[in-house]
Amino acid sequence: MIYIGVGSNLSSSFGSPRETCKAALKALETKGCHIVRVSKWYKTEPVPVSDDPWYVNCAIEIDTKLEPAKLLETLHQVEAEFDRKRGKKNAPRTIDLDILAYNDVVMDGAINLPHCRMHKRLFVLKPLKDIAPNWHHPISGLSIDKLLSAVTDEQKIHLYDEKINNL
């Protein structure tokens, strides 16, 4: 199973952060990434906490023939098409696409698999649980439930409701 984290906290030419995320999912489909599942959508506080706009986040499961390096290149290509500016760490962004896990592959180097900070982030773990409730971290062996219960930061995360949380 290949899982991708999706997030945005800035509007783009595609619309609101959520509309931008949805458009990015469509763009991935045209680049050899068949979307199998999409989690619920969440509204999440920036990490680290700041005055920046809150994010819209989800996780997706994809099926692809792309190897990890080519998949990462494809994700960066989509980010560039959506006017993602890379600069200051944790800066607001129009789109953020991260490989969370690529089957049970473990890599440390130019690509880190599984994602090196995913086990500390509710905005990754909660959506991932929606689509992979039985997933286990390939390094620690911990279940998604154990990972969720181990997050110590007070991260604010809410189910996204278009009627209430208009981003």
For the stretch 149-166, pLDDT in tens is: 999 878 899 998 765 444
Q: Looking at residue 163, what is its pLDDT?
A: 52
| Structural element, H or E, at residue 158 | strand 157-159
Look up the pTM and report it. 0.93
The verdict on whether 63 is a catalytic residue reads no
> Cβ distance 98 to 19 under 8 Å?
no
More confident residue, 131 or 48: 131
> What 3-state class would DSSP assign to 104?
coil
Active site residue 37: no
E-strand ranges in 16-153 read: 34-38, 42-44, 55-63, 96-102
Write down the catalytic residue from 96, 108, 117, 130: 96
Q: Domains, the chain, ranges and CATH?
A: 2-159 (3.30.70.560)
Give pLDDT, residue 166: 41
Examine the pLDDT at 131 and tell me if it is beyond 50.
yes
Instruction: Look up 52 and say whether it is catalytic.
Output: no
98 is catalytic: yes
Q: Among residues 37, 51, 83, 98, which one is catalytic?
A: 98
Residues 52, 84, 86, 130: which is the catalytic one?
A: 84
